[in-house]
Amino acid sequence: MIGIVDYGMGNLGSVENACRFLKRDAQVISSPDAVEDCTALILPGVGAFGDCMKNLRQRGFAERLVEWINSGRWLLGICLGLQVLFEESEESPGVSGLGVLPGRVRLFQLPLELKVPQIGWNQVRQVKPDCPLFKGIADETHFYFVHSYYVDPAAEVDTAGTTDFGGAYTSAVWRDGLMAVQFHPEKSHRAGLKMLDNFCAQAEEAVGGRRAGE
């Protein structure tokens, strides 16, 4: 089962509906203990960095998610679910993120002709085309974005995809079983559904292979 983490914020319904359309076994989970029944996790998010971290900590998810990621198990972060993987954000000074990836989240500083937040379709250039998320998806495919802040990884090796909005920034990351994107695959039509299906299928295959080797 793919667990969709419910911490009181996020686009749970659209992610769950997309997984259901793909005929993937995915369920919303509201308890940290429920992660042990999951083969992989999806961490969606819409809203402010500080509120997200407050909710994750109050509901007991923060520590459990760090343990999950550090053990090499699969997790897909979406939008704010990408940003909280980093150490801190200019949106919420003094609030620590999960810190599993080095770097910080920054506010776009752009010319007046570029409106913030970025809302709409934009291309993703595949820096790491071998990333499992990109299987069967053409380079520079368009995905749907809604955000005012972007991640600035301290380790360039973590960047899997970039997008240009007043300059190139990291829009996808990949490290072992940890993958996360700034855009919304669940709102990105055929390409987004393909990306979600890639994650679910390959996470299940990886877990199945690990169990077979035990």
Q: Which residues are tagged catalytic?
A: 79, 184, 186
Contacts of 37 (CB under 8 A, 6+ apart): 1, 3, 29
Cβ contacts of 126 within 8 Å, gap of 6 or more: 134, 137, 139, 140, 160, 161
Q: What is the DSSP letter of 37?
A: G
Quick count: other Cβ atoms within 10 Å of Cβ 152?
13
Please return the burial class of 156, using the count of CB atoms within 10 Å of its CB with bins 0-12, 13-18 and 19+.
exposed
**Distance of alpha carbon 66 from its chain centroid, rounded?**
14
